[in-house]
Structure 1
């Protein structure tokens, strides 16, 4: 859409990637999975009538494109290859744009590190839209052609502030969450706060509501989103020339009830592209556990394989093919306004090319069944640990360099140290807790910090932190954190404060005893085992379910 939403007449051609498999036609759980509520139908943005003129190929640019980077691959799993098209201004007109956030979250952008760098978070969305004849053909379920698409693939890409590592977190499509109130920017429809499967968030005004839902669930600030549909997956897979995937036995994703993507491969490695690539990315009936969790693992394998392939420089050496890919990608993508030009996309890709493959980690959000197996819930403890790592810009692979153990001494006695306390419990879903700044200020005074004062400005922050303005005050901040029994990682440098400042987060909504006082910084510095992490250099084969072989 050329305006603020992905709805409307022109929007009908662009939905998001992850379609359902054949036999998964309805939104009521008829395929044996958790029920998914249907919602009002939403359209997508279209492209202009006049196609962009193709510039002459430039070989030097083609060489640079080959050295692009990991985000391209994350997008490619949804059918949107980045790389080459970033260089061509004429492709701007192909891009569809929508509002980034339709909610009312107060979560702010993370503070820059000492080098002035900030982490980058991009939500990748794949829809199951059947709003075009091509998408109906690829996704089946003709009866769903007029309903709003569901966001059946959702992955949060987190790139560290120093661009040394990348973490990708998938979430099962039927994860039950709170979808915050969202206002459709196109027609003003207000969708009230509700509980439902996270893939339904797309039906509440567009991708901006999916972004708002992720922010409320994780406490992570999201900078951008990218979205694509079935036909985009196929066109991108064709343009990229295929990706090697492997199965440990013959697989045929099909059964007598019509369940399955139609994927049919013999044992071993295959270069999949086009419709076959879409089938691989959609398959859950055929792999070992016949679930969305297995499907996410297959998607992660596809991504890591593509990362290795593009980084090796074996694909897209022909500038003409790069231009074809550029056309296909920009015709398929819907992005937020912050990524709404080719130059902005190019700058993003150029920034990300420094991320090494070996520091790329892909996981599925730790989960457990709820409602007697009817839906999925974030796993207590493990899911929050994962989200906290993202919020604190800590790599999921646990390989971040450890900070020195030496603790700088405070610059002032606690009786003389000015400490500001701020209430950070503003939240669209949970709502603010009044008086938290005053309560913790009183506790600090009781602990001897006589000059502690409360700041009445309400903000939203997931984790309680102790901010300090310069390295000189780091020792003071650590002393305050210790007094409140906060982990040492709570002390953070910030150019936005003038004094040591305690921001009481949504993790400490009551009382004067920090609820995570027993937490240490040892085992919580990497993704939990339940996240089933996959490293970017790991090569493996999907295990085939013996009921789906031939």
Structure 2
């Protein structure tokens, strides 16, 4: 299936199309991490025991941040209609076990190169996922981080500077400023946790319609069906020079296709799996995830996950925030404001994203390179 395909009738839909100029290769490895809320949360549902030592062990694994306190009341109005908006990010901190993965900063600081807004529709049977390119030039609002430190506003800066400047709270503030939509929850997963999670799942099966060879992300795959281990999966969601036009937009299309394959894979982890394997999966997932304070316990996260587990890959409509290549710098993109407004208005109203919002936008030319093998 293509990363941004036309949905079935009754499923929120639309499709990106169009092409942009080939990007120049940039020095150094460009980091990117697929952040999959359904994966971490769904595994917790499968592995959580709800009582005794195992529950408290899982509960103690979860890191949380109090975004509500940091941001205060100057936020978009919370819409109480049964829908939910979740910001999911990837952390590429070079501290701890992430150091061995290479790339990134060497001082232990963190950046986020992957961001997705997940809108879960009322009834929790379908969702739209909107990827925000890390290279998007935006006006970053002033914000206060979870430590109480204040950060000044900045104009025409890359989107991912919000996280590197002020962490989770400033990332949420920036997304809310761009969209005008209140983020109900926040989820973050780091590099090493993602890699280990895929290995403990036994790999994820995907089909590549073209060969991928990207030395920067250490990924080399022939066209065909593959069961990717953790290192290969991480390489896939990081690659940007191996497919398409070499841009971050192409990488996003690979990530979106991989998400669908991953969701299908998780749903096959069922009652025949051993209790130890289920616990190991839950242990890895809870160690990898950082949440907002409302989800900062195993009970809360399991309850949240129960509300998502009815959403299959076929009910997930995935798009990229409408952008075009920056005429002044082909390695940056700028928001197509009128089309982006269509996306945000649809999500605010819990409606389908119209096809007109995504038609003809820059895409990275990597659609269909990776598909689910299920």
Shorter chain as denominator, the TM-score bin is 0.7 to 0.9
Higher share of residues assigned strand: 2
Q: Cα gap change, 1:360/1:334 in structure 2, threshold over 3 Å: closer, same or farther?
A: same
Query: Matches of residues 10-49 of structure 1 in structure 2 within 5 Å?
Result: 31=26
Per-residue deviation, 1:218: 0.5
Match of 1:99 among 50, 53, 66: 66
Are residues 1:319 and 2:280 paired?
Answer: no
The answer to whether the aligner puts 1:122 opposite 2:83 as a matched pair is: no
Instruction: Indicate conservation of the 8 Å contact 2:38/2:309, yes or no.
Output: no
Instruction: Give the TM-score taking structure 1 as reference length.
Output: 0.56
Quickly say closer, same or farther: Cα 1:305–1:316, change in 2 above 3 A: farther
Paired residues of 2:210 and 2:369 also in contact (CA < 8 A)? no
Q: Which residue of 2 aligns with 1:380?
A: 337
Residue 108 of structure 1 corresponds to 77
Q: Counterpart of 1:227?
A: 188
Q: CA deviation at 1:360?
A: 1.2
Q: 1:183: which partner in 2? A: 144
Counterparts in 2 of 1:359 and 1:80: CA distance versus 1, 3 Å: closer
Aligned pair count reads 332
Partner of 1:22: none
TM-score (norm 2): 0.80
1:252-303: CA deviations, max 9, x gaps?
212xxxxx20111122011112111111111111012211111111111111
Task: Report deviation, 1:316.
Answer: 7.1
Deviation at 1:238, TM superposition (A): 1.2
Matches for 1:346-495 after TM superposition, within 5 Å: 346-370=302-326, 371-396=328-353
Aligned equivalent of 1:281: 237
Name 2:246's counterpart in structure 1: 290
Shift of 1:148: 2.7
Structure of larger gyration radius: 1
Cα RMSD (Å): 2.9
Equivalent of residue 153 in structure 1, options 91, 114, 118: 114
Give, in whole Å, the separation in 2 of the partners of 1:80 and 1:194.
37
Q: Which structure has the higher relative contact order (CA within 8 Å, separation 6+)?
A: 2
What SS does the aligned partner of 2:134 have?
coil
Shift of 1:99: 2.1
Deviations 1:32-55 (A, max 9, x none): 69x99xxxxxxxxxxxxxxxxxxx
Bigger share in helix? 2
Task: Kindly report which structure 2 residues correspond to 1:521-540, keeping only aligned pairs within 5 A, or say none.
Answer: 524=354, 527-530=357-360, 540=368
C-alpha change, 1:86 and 1:345, in structure 2 (3 Å) is farther
- Please give the alpha-carbon distance, in whole angstroms, between the structure 1 residues aligned to 2:198 and 2:257: 15
- Distance in 2 (CA, whole Å) between partners of 1:248 and 1:185 is 44
The unaligned stretches of length 5 or more in structure 1 are 1-28, 37-71, 113-117, 255-259, 397-523, 534-538, 544-550
Partners of 1:87 and 1:234 lie apart in 2 by 24
Give structure 2 stretches of 5+ with no counterpart: 1-23
Q: In structure 2, the residue corresponding to 1:286 is in which secondary structure?
A: coil
- For 1:174 and 1:227, the matched residues in 2 are separated by 19
